[in-house]
Structures are given as C-alpha cells and as structure tokens.
Chain A
Amino acid sequence: MIEIKGMTKIYKLNKKQMKESKTTNPVKTAVNNLSLTAKPGEIYGLLGPNGAGKTTTLRCISTIIKPTKGEIFVAGHEVQKEPEKVREKIGFLTGDIKLDPQFSVDYMFDFFGRLHNIPEDRLKSRKEELFTYFGIKDFSHKKIKELSTGMAQKAAIAVCLVHDPEIVIFDEPTNGLDVITARSVTDYLKKLRDDGKLVIISTHVMSEAEKICDRIGIIIDGCKVAEGNLEQILHDTNTEDLEDAFFELYRDIKGGK
C-alpha cells in the first residue's frame, strides 16, 4: 500500500538551471500537493507529459529524494522517518539506474541479494526463477558493459526484484526497449500484480497506460488532474480514448492552448 498525503516537492534552481529553463524564478515546484493511494494487487500508472512530476513522485516514494511537504507511507512506513524500512519493501527501477558495468549479472544479483540479507538458498532459487523468466541465463556470466541495452535492462529488472519486494516502483518501464522485451516486461508486471504485489509505474505512453494499468492518475504540472480506471476517466472526460481524455484535461489546465 502506498499512501501519499499532500506531497509537495520544490527544487531550488541555481543560475545555470534557471537559464536552461528560461525562468527568473529560483524555485521550481515539481509536484504540488499531490495525494494518491495505491493498493496491493493493482498496477497504478502515473501518466503525464515530460516534466510533469512523475519521476519526482516515484523518487520521493523510493526515499531517494525527500518531499518538501507532506507524508508518504509505503507499506505503513513513512519515507522520511523510516527510510531503511521502506527500502526493504520496494524494488525501484528507472532507465537511469544502471548496474555497475565492471561486474557480471551474476555478481550484481548476488551483491544486491546480500544487501537485502537474503539467505543463500533463497537467493539461488530467486536467481533461477528470475533469470529463467527474463532469459538472462545465457549471458549471466557476462559483464554488464558487454551487454546490449535490452539485455542490460532485463538484468537490471531481475536485480531490482531479487528480494521479491511487496511494492515495485517502475519509472518508464519500457523506455528504450524493443517490442519483444517491452512485452515481456509488461507481462511480468501483470504477473506481479496477479501475485498480489503493488506495482506503480510512470509513463507518457498512452497505449501502455491503457493496456496494463488498473488505475491511472494523470499528472500535469505537478498536480493530479484525474484519477480512476480507464472507464471512469473516459466517462468523466466524455471521450473515446485515453489520448483524447488527456488532451481534454490538458486543455482545461492550460486554458485551451
């Protein structure tokens, strides 16, 4: 269970960043008073354009960064008060989290397994299961730097699931993957959901959200503008598909532009 209560994240910009984003305002509100609840046994999708605050939200949940205001409970633990407890419960993966290129997939899997205090025999069975599922076995002895993007991403997914986490947080899970690998990843997310895990992902791909998410929260400019399952959102916006619904909401926020 993930419960976000009134979370706000404000970044302070330095001069260079202000210039880059063409603003004179030294603070940037990435997420503004966001609340949401995601329950075990569902795939919750944060949908929004680039820079809407999806990744920031997921990073706050994962304890990598701290929210400026508000509380986040992950499996009953508050992220700022008990960050280690939260990290025990989650598996977090993004496109920019990479595995050490010097080491083999085997080594990294064992390394993170041990960091999670997983007993050796359990580690072995997890490895067998995950490596078989993702087809990693053939290249598990290879160093990460020798792997292709797709292989490395699969390896990273397997490693982040080593401790069989209750909650899986996935930032842009299929970004940069080919169709086949992307499908095997989304299939695995569904399998996790069916096993009763809570999966929360972020995406800007409408079709992906439509296909795999049980519930969708649409974020624009750091604010949640809609939430619900696909039918509810389509019904509320009186539209045919998610893309139209998104643009309907987007127009409301941006004033018809």
Chain B
Amino acid sequence: MSGISQICRKELARVFKDKKMIFSVFLLPVLIMVGIMTLVSSLSTSAQNDVEAHNSIVYVQNAPDGFEDFLRSSDKECEIIQMSDRAGTEDMIRDGNADLLIEFPEGFMDAVTEYKAGDSVPQIKTYYNPSEDYSRAAYDAISSGVLENYRETLLADRVEDMAGLTVFTVNSDNPDMVIQDEEKAGGKILGMMLPYFITILLFAGAMGIGTDMVAGEKERGTMASLLVSPIKRSSIVLGKVFSLMIISGVSSVVYVGAMVAFMPQMMGGMGGSDLGVNLSLNPAQIGMLAALLIAIAFMYSAIIVLVSVFAKTVKEANSYIMPVYMLVLVLGITTMFTTKTPQEWLYAVPIYNTSLTLQGILTQEVTMMQYGLTLGVTLVLGAVLIGVIAKAFESEKVMSI
C-alpha cells in the first residue's frame, strides 16, 4: 500500500510542484476556452446589432400610391427606391448592395379595388438574397411582416367585419400555455450539455499527463529504476492510475467551475439565462453523480495509462490516444441527440453508458438497475485494464528494457 501512495505522491508532485505544469494543465485550457467562447459570442452579438442597425435598401416596382408611406410607417429607416433597371437591381441584390425587391403587378390597386368573385388574385413578388444577412433580415421583416399587415389593411377596406373572417385564434392570449416540471426542464438542457462536457473534460484533463506517465518514463530511462525497487508492479500501476484520477478530477472541476462562472460572458448573445444553469440537485443525485464520476475518472485513467504502457515514446502515446479521444467525443455527442428511451442493454456498453446515465441522473429518469449496471461495467472495465497494465509491466518487450 505504501508503495502505491509513494508513486501516487511523486506523480502528483510532478504536476503540482511545477508552476508551468499547473498553468498548462489547469489554467491554459480554461483561458483558451473562455477566450474563444467570449470572442465568438461578442462577434455574433455585434453582427446581430449591426444587422439591426442597418437601413434596408428596398427597391419597388409598380408600387401603388401610399405603399411607400405604409412601409415607412413600420420601418422608419428603410430606404425605398423606385426600380428602373430590373437586371441591374438583381445584380445589386446578388452583390449585397440592395436588400430586397418588391414587385407589384401592373395595375395592382385597380385589381384589388375592382375585385369580383372569380377574378384572379393579384400577386406581389419579392426577391432577396438569403446568403446576405441584411437581405435576409429585410426579407423577414418586410416580406412576411409588413406585406402581411398591408394585406390586412387592404382587406379591411373590402370587408367590414374582420373578426367574422378570423373564425378562431390559437393562443393569442394564453401566457400559461407551457406546463412542465421546471426541475426536469432545467435538467433536460443541462443533461444534454453536462455529460458531454464532463466526460470529455475528464478525459482531456488526464490525457496530456497520462501519456507521459509510462511512455515518458520509458523514454527518459527512469522506468528501470522503479522496476528494481522492491514494490509490486501492480503498486506502480495503481499509484500512477490513482494520481491520474486525481489530476483529471481536479482539472475537470476547474473546467466545469470556470464554465459555470464565465457562462454569462461566453453565452452573451445567445440568451444565457435560458440555459437552466440554476438547476438544483438533490442529495441523492449528487451522491450518484459523484460515485459515477469517480468511476469514470478511474476507467479513463486506466485507458490512458494502458495506451501509455504500450507506446515506446510520448509522441507515439499521443498519437495512439487520439482515436480513443475521438471515440469519447463521438459517444458523448450521440447522447446529446437521442430522443427515444434507450434500450436496457445500452447501459452495458462502456463509455457510452456513462453518458446515458449522467444524462439520466440529471433528468431523474435513470433507474437504479441502469445506474448499477453502468457503475459496475465502468469499474470492472477499469479493473480489467489495470490487470492488463500490470501484466504488461512484467513483459520485457512492452517495457522495452
């Protein structure tokens, strides 16, 4: 036992006694993450503001009298130009120099006022460029907004009782239409995001340090001195895996903490208040989460050390670990988009089941059976891997000594 703790302490000292290591393992990823997210959200906010501040340039053709005033009354900043050259206007829309073209048929007003049942209904055509933000915004505001109002105005001239045409409305005055359990709703959004982030962070936090742990010692020639000390091979393995668990645990706590703390900055333009971050967990949930996260950290650490054992150099270990990391990423993503209730046997699939169960705990939908299965599979897999690593430590070939 003391061998395990000595090895573990040394590995922790390697990270925590080195300021550069602390910075690169714990702080740098947070700084990069917060920095990028803040930049992206501020850029998207300013782009949005820019679109809102832009004065739409609208070309009109054959506009009836009074339409320009009607348009101005709902969009004051709008610049209205009579179209003279059709092809030229289309080019301008294509190039982003004009935002919208509204084409009225000739004699539009006459066709409207002199309408008799059976006549063909006049059609207004609008043209826009969806790949230009300004154009798309003008289309949304005018084509489906202003023109709809204009239609109703003209209709009111023709029909005396508008309400008689409406027949019924849906939810025009019903603020209580959403009926849901607030806790579960918060859990739904968090349950989608958190398992994904946590599993990835647990893995990513351990990855850099873990690949160095055995392959690095081999490369530096320091492994043999451990192998001739009077402790069991399994003690060396466990010491290393436990220290890696602690490192990955600490780093994921730092990352998740930073994410929650900087959520407003990072989600600036995306409506951070709707994310349900104020989710409250009950003690049972917290206990289940904690136990599962420790088990996951244990399994991930074992996987990483295993890869590190079979690699001759740190570089090799880093390239071996990449596919595994990708797998963890992909399996995490799949749980974000599952809508069906997962089949029972899926809870026996390692790695995937941890994402499912984390999600299930947050949405309070996981059964004790599913939770137990996940926890068991995770721990057993971790233990089996430890066994394989200890076996590999005995092999001269693998240890390349």
Closest to A90 in B: B228
Query: Which residues from B are CB-within-8-Å of A87?
Result: 228-230
Neighbour of A107 across the interface among B13, B227, B231, B401, CB < 8 A: B13
Does the CB pair B232–A65 fall under 8 Å? no
Neighbour of B10 across the interface among A94, A96, A101, A111, CB < 8 A: A111
Neighbour of B224 across the interface among A88, A97, A117, CB < 8 A: A97
B14, CB-defined interface residue at 8 Å: yes
In the bound complex, how far is the Cα of B229 from the Cα of A62, in angstroms?
Answer: 10
Neighbour of A94 across the interface among B222, B224, B230, CB < 8 A: B224
Neighbour of B225 across the interface among A59, A101, A112, CB < 8 A: A112
| Total contacting residues, chain B, CB less than 8 A | 21
Query: Which residues from B are CB-within-8-Å of A90?
Result: 228
Does the CB pair A64–B2 fall under 8 Å? no
Does the CB pair A99–B225 fall under 8 Å? yes
- B6 CB to nearest chain A CB (Å): 5
In the bound complex, how far is the Cα of B17 from the Cα of A111, in angstroms?
Answer: 15
Does the CB pair B225–A84 fall under 8 Å? no
Does the CB pair B230–A97 fall under 8 Å? no
Given A65-B401, A115-B6, residue A96 in contact with residue B221 (CB < 8 A): yes
| Residue of B18, B217, B220 with highest tally of chain A CB at under 10 A | B220
Does the CB pair B230–A84 fall under 8 Å? yes
Does the CB pair A92–B230 fall under 8 Å? no
Main secondary structure, interface of B, reads: helix
In the bound complex, how far is the Cα of B227 from the Cα of A222, in angstroms?
Answer: 24
In the bound complex, how far is the Cα of B312 from the Cα of A62, in angstroms?
Answer: 22
Query: Which residues from B are CB-within-8-Å of A85?
Result: 230
Does the CB pair A114–B401 fall under 8 Å? no
Query: Which residues from B are CB-within-8-Å of A65?
Result: 396, 401
Does the CB pair A98–B220 fall under 8 Å? yes
User: In B120-138, which residues have CB < 8 Å from any A CB?
Assistant: none
User: In B226-245, which residues have CB < 8 Å from any A CB?
Assistant: 227-232
B186, CB-defined interface residue at 8 Å: no
Closest to A144 in B: B222
B3, CB-defined interface residue at 8 Å: yes
In the bound complex, how far is the Cα of B217 from the Cα of A85, in angstroms?
Answer: 24
Neighbour of A97 across the interface among B2, B3, B221, CB < 8 A: B221
User: In B1-29, which residues have CB < 8 Å from any A CB?
Assistant: 2-3, 6, 10, 13-14, 18
Does the CB pair A84–B231 fall under 8 Å? yes
In the bound complex, how far is the Cα of B224 from the Cα of A99, in angstroms?
Answer: 10
Query: Which residues from A are CB-within-8-Å of B18?
Result: 102
A33, CB-defined interface residue at 8 Å: no
Does the CB pair B220–A97 fall under 8 Å? no
Query: Which residues from B are CB-within-8-Å of A159?
Result: 225
Interface string of A153-176 (1 = CB under 8 A from B): 000100110000000000000000
Does the CB pair A116–B230 fall under 8 Å? yes
- A30 CB to nearest chain B CB (Å): 12
Given A114-B6, A115-B6, residue A102 in contact with residue B14 (CB < 8 A): yes
Closest to A65 in B: B396
A66, CB-defined interface residue at 8 Å: yes
A-B contacts, 23 listed (Cβ < 8 Å): A59-B401, A63-B227, A64-B224, A65-B396, A65-B401, A87-B228, A87-B229, A92-B228, A96-B221, A97-B221, A98-B221, A100-B217, A100-B222, A101-B220, A102-B18, A103-B10, A103-B13, A112-B229, A114-B2, A114-B6, A115-B3, A115-B6, A115-B229
The 6 closest A-B pairs by CB, nearest first: A88-B230, A87-B230, A98-B221, A115-B229, A92-B228, A97-B224
- What would 11 more interface pairs be, CB under 8 Å, given A63-B228, A112-B229, A160-B225? A64-B228, A84-B232, A87-B228, A97-B224, A99-B225, A100-B14, A101-B222, A102-B14, A111-B6, A112-B225, A117-B230
- Interface residue ranges, B against A (CB under 8 Å): 2-3, 6, 10, 13-14, 18, 217, 220-222, 224-225, 227-232, 396, 401
